[in-house]
């Protein structure tokens, strides 16, 4: 690992930190240290980083803004690649938008709405990055990334970069091919937007923001929806129906505001959150015979 780190520093790929607490990089404010934390300063340096990772056979994990992530207490083995500054360029050509994987989805939707372009209204309250949103086909309010994405520029484990079309991304509910078959990092995405009425777009976005503010506990550290909706049921409604809202283990608590959110109510550990997740799964299956599947991504040493 020392030789690998020295090579990274020689190439000046970006920010490099050892034993970096992942609690600093997740919206839940939970997570042990990453052996190595790398924030590439450009797409080119992302490629150089992956080439060295492949050469030295280092385990790796990619993250964005850490909004749909639970990092375990023992931290993460190998390298964590964060897409952030340097991976957040934007290029708008008419109604076609090309944007870096590290760009904030909330910031992007706000900027685009002010230009009178429609398509990203659903994302106005999703606190993740473009890369993370494409990776998991993030969505809300009846729409998702698959509705607007034309193609995505993916860096794969073998060091090759390839543009995948919407069809090749194999999108389904909160899922893409990157989770199912071909692990990779979303370096860039191209979205097809539509011209619209600026006031109507802004109004729709504000409505979405207000809804999230009124129904979801973003005043606490949390990771967004914990479970996928077991359609036709909704996870939050099942949790509420089971009387589990407010139930806590350690510093983790099922939100009083929304049953599908677990909040860090005070110095929570990942083990507290995992125990709550299991308690919800067991209770819902026992009461309703419904198997709950997690939407939040759980990573790290077990």
CA distances to 1, 49, 288 from 55, in Å:
12, 10, 50
Bridge partners (DSSP) of residue 236 are none
Q: At what angle do helices 198-215 and 105-114 cross, to 10 degrees?
A: 150
CA gap 255, 244 in Å, rounded: 9
Q: How far apart are CA 96 and CA 88, in angstroms?
A: 16
Cα dihedral 190, 191, 194, 196 sign: negative
3-state secondary structure of 113: helix
* Alpha-carbon radius of gyration of the chain: 19
Q: Name the active-site residue from 67, 104, 129, 225.
A: 225
**Is position 174 annotated as part of the catalytic site?**
yes
Say which of 174, 188, 212, 255 is annotated catalytic.
Answer: 174
Quick check: is 167 catalytic? no
Rounded Cα distance between 121 and 202, Å, is 8
- Assess whether 198 carries a catalytic annotation: no
The catalytic residue positions are: 174, 225, 295
């Amino acid at each position: 690992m020392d030789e690998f780190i020295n090579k990274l520093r020689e190439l000046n790929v970006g920010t490099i930190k050892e034993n970096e607490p992942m609690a600093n990089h997740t919206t839940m404010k939970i997570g042990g240290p990453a052996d190595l934390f790398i924030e590439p300063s450009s797409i080119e340096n992302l490629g150089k980083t992956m080439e060295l990772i492949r050469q030295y056979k280092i385990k790796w994990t990619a993250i964005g803004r850490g909004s749909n992530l639970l990092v375990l207490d023992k931290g993460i083995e190998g390298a964590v690649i964060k897409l952030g500054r340097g991976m957040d360029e934007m290029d708008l050509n008419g109604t076609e938008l090309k944007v870096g994987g590290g760009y904030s989805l909330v910031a992007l939707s706000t900027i685009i709405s002010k230009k009178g372009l429609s398509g990203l209204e659903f994302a106005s309250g999703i606190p993740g990055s473009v890369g993370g949103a494409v990776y998991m086909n993030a969505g809300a309010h009846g729409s998702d990334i698959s509705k607007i994405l034309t193609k995505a520029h993916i860096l794969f484990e073998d060091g090759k970069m390839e543009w995948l079309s919407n069809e090749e991304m194999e999108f389904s509910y909160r899922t893409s091919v990157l989770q199912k078959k071909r692990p990779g990092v979303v370096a860039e995405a191209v979205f097809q937007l539509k011209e619209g009425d600026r006031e109507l777009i802004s109004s729709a976005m504000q409505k979405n923001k207000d809804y999230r503010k009124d129904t979801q506990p973003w005043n606490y550290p949390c990771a967004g929806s914990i479970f996928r909706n077991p359609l036709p049921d909704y996870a939050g409604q099942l949790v509420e129906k089971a009387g589990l809202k407010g139930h806590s283990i350690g510093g983790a608590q099922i939100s009083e505001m929304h049953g599908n959110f677990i909040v860090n109510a005070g110095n929570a550990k990942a083990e507290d959150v995992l125990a709550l997740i299991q308690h919800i799964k067991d209770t819902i299956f026992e009461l309703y015979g419904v198997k709950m599947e997690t939407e939040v991504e759980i990573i790290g040493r077990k």
